[in-house]
Amino acid sequence: MTALSVAEIGTRLLALNADSAEPWSFVEGKIRKEFVFEDFVGAFGFMASAALVAERQNHHPEWSNVYNRVVINLTTHDAGGVSEADFLLAAALNELVAG
């Protein structure tokens, strides 16, 4: 897996965010999104489901949770930057939230 260029990341972010009210962004060498849920149970339920998706893809997020918010940062450490694997996981997480 190789890291994508900044231009490639920009192009892929446009496609990833095309149908999303809450977009992913490129911050400090990672793609990032904050998911907001109705309450802690909604946030934690998302994290549990997202963990299963991440495990199936063998690609694990950097994330944090405070009450109803889950912040996810994606990067591929082995590639030294953002890779195709990050965009695949981001798209799957968007689909998970959309239902």
Would you kindly state where each structural domain of the chain is located, as residue ranges? 6-98
pLDDT in tens, 1-15: 899 999 999 999 999
Q: Which of 99, 85, 84 is nearest to 42 (CA)?
A: 99
How far separated are the first and last CA of the chain, in Å rounded?
A: 29
Instruction: Give the C-alpha separation, 45 to 11, whole Å.
Output: 31
Mean pLDDT within 65-79: 97
pLDDT in tens, 19-65: 888 899 999 999 999 999 999 999 999 999 999 999 999 999 999 99
Q: Which fold has domain 6-98?
A: Gyrase A; domain 2 (3.30.1360)
pTM of structure:
0.95
